[in-house]
Chain A
Amino acid sequence: MSEIKMEVKNLDFYYDDFQALKNINIPLESNKVTALIGPSGCGKSTFLRTLNRMNDLIEGSRVEGEVLFDNENIYKENVDVVELRKRVGMVFQQPNPFPKSIFDNVAYGPRIHGLKDKDKLEEIVIESLKGAALYEEVKDRLDDSALGLSGGQQQRLCIARALAVKPEVLLMDEPASALDPVATAKIEDLIDELKNNYTIVIVTHSMQQAARVSDNTGFFLMGDLVEFDQTDKIFENPSDQRTEDYITGRFG
């Protein structure tokens, strides 16, 4: 196993009295794609959002256990959540560009973090758009509204926006579920490209997608992590009967 970027240890998560995650343990390897699969409501998205503490926003939620990021627990007191979210970027299920220009969308993060220099901003925007395989399609209309882009382009713009703050980990919550097959293929190619530079965690409801893009896969069921292993192993020779039932389509 290669270097571990984030390690989740004995993680429990509660929405008020409801326990949504039960004793989760997952190592997330550097420069690998980790896929999280499971039926709706199994806790995979909730789990993803514990990795950049987006769940903090939910009134009445509670976390127990540890998430080590470069060996530091991100739930320790005095952790700077802003700094954490800079280092752990996120792409959402619905493409959600701001109602601003393409340029301003990508420049948003760097600007928030205090970058004012115009040339430097432009450099980062172009670099990020190239990183998200979008630059060639939009280079002549960076000042146009991002809302004029197609769904697939919007999602790649959101990836570019996340890349612009130079994260180390990229969390993707069903990033292709709102897209057509062509746009989905582009996103998947992009994920393959991105793992050279980032550690990627992707939640997906599509098992084929998990099989295509990921190195490791975790299978969630009703808040439990049933099985976590190399993707080949999970899909070809799962150890747990429930995993096998799920990937062969017997339920879910």
Chain B
Amino acid sequence: MLNWKTKEKIIKNILLFFAFSSILFLTGIIIVLFKEGAPIFSKVGILEFLFTSDWYPTYDPPGYGIFNLLSGSIVVTIGAMVIAVPFGVASAIHIAYILPKKFKNIVKPTIEMLAGVPSVIYGLFGMKILGPFLREVFGLPTGLTALNAMIMLGIMALPTIVSLAEDAITAVPQNFRDASLALGANRLETMFRVILPTASSGIVTAVILGMGRAIGETMTVLMVAGGASLFPSNILKPVRPMTATIAAEMGEAPVGSEHYQALFGIAIILFLITLIFNIFADFAQQRFKKKVSGE
């Protein structure tokens, strides 16, 4: 029979293992990514890989320049943010400050539910409803374009932005609001001069995490972005973001081939971008916490 001290020790270690397992998974993913993808950088050269735009992995001689794919991802993400940030922040303000409590408890969960809709459903919507609509309106050969992807990703990033921005605004101490109102400021002045400036770094976190959601999204862009590896000079033309490229081509790339390595190379770039987003988001979050706790 084990005594309680030994039992406690065993339980502690089991919990420790679970706690560390996610770090273990992350490390594993990084190792695999770099092991499979890094060779392409030495073969093609990292600058060539990033900044040339011939993506012909199956030609002879092949081209492994991802510039069009990279800029496709970036342009679509920026477009999504242009749509999602004004909508998201405005709804967050409304939910946090104007909506009576009883409605807030309905509206916020509803918006958050948007995050739970499978991305293939967004893809279907973009493909079969928004696509034909854009084609009609702009007189295009196809509605599957960068614009379509921007709109869909914008909608998909909304719940993240609304939910986190609303949390940030609500986290601004009531104190500040009272102080401002007691000085004779109206609600609008209080919102724009005290509450939003205080919540700003929290809102920045919300936007960065929304961007992370948009740039990493795969299924929807695969379905609605059109898939042509063109430079995104016109948002009414198809693009081929990095995620869609990996998803579409990995099945046909022989394991260990240059093409296979190049797709892993793209994954490394994507991973680094989202890593940077997360670091920035974390940094902004720290700043926000400091601000509202008054240190």
Contact = CB atoms under 8 A, between A and B. Distances in A.
Contacts of A89: 182-183
A205 interface: no
Interface string A128-170: 0000000000000000000100000000001001100100000
B186 interface: yes
A14 interface: no
Contact of A96 (B176, B185, B189, B291): B176
A209 B51 CA distance: 73
Contacts of B86: none
Contacts of B178: 54, 57, 92, 96
A94 interface: yes
B194 interface: yes
Contact of B184 (A57, A98, A109, A158): A109
Nearest to B292: A99
A108 B295 contact: no
Contact of B294 (A59, A92, A147): A147
Given A96-B176, A98-B179, A112 B184 contact: yes
Contacts of B91: none
A52 B185 contact: no
A57 to B, nearest CB: 7
> Most chain-A Cβ atoms within 10 A of its Cβ — which of B193, B197, B295?
B193
A86 B184 contact: yes
B100 interface: yes
B291 A99 contact: yes
B198 interface: yes
A93 B181 CA distance: 15
Interface string B70-84: 000000000000000
Contacts of A162: 182-183
B186 A92 contact: no
A125 interface: no
A90 B179 CA distance: 8
A154 to B, nearest CB: 9
A92 B294 CA distance: 16
Nearest to B198: A99
A62 interface: no
Contact of A112 (B101, B189, B197): B189
Going nearest first, the 6 A-B pairs with the smallest beta carbon separation are A96-B175, A86-B184, A90-B182, A109-B183, A85-B184, A112-B185
27 contacts: A54-B181, A54-B182, A57-B178, A59-B101, A82-B184, A82-B185, A85-B182, A85-B184, A86-B184, A89-B183, A92-B175, A96-B173, A96-B178, A98-B194, A99-B176, A99-B198, A108-B180, A108-B194, A112-B184, A112-B185, A112-B189, A112-B193, A147-B295, A161-B179, A161-B183, A162-B183, A165-B184
Interface of B: 100-101, 173, 175-176, 178-186, 189, 193-194, 197-198, 291-292, 294-295
Given A92-B178, A98-B194, 6 more contacts: A85-B183, A96-B178, A98-B176, A99-B197, A108-B194, A162-B182
Interface of A: 52, 54, 57, 59, 82-86, 89-90, 92, 94, 96-100, 108-109, 112-113, 147, 158, 161-162, 165
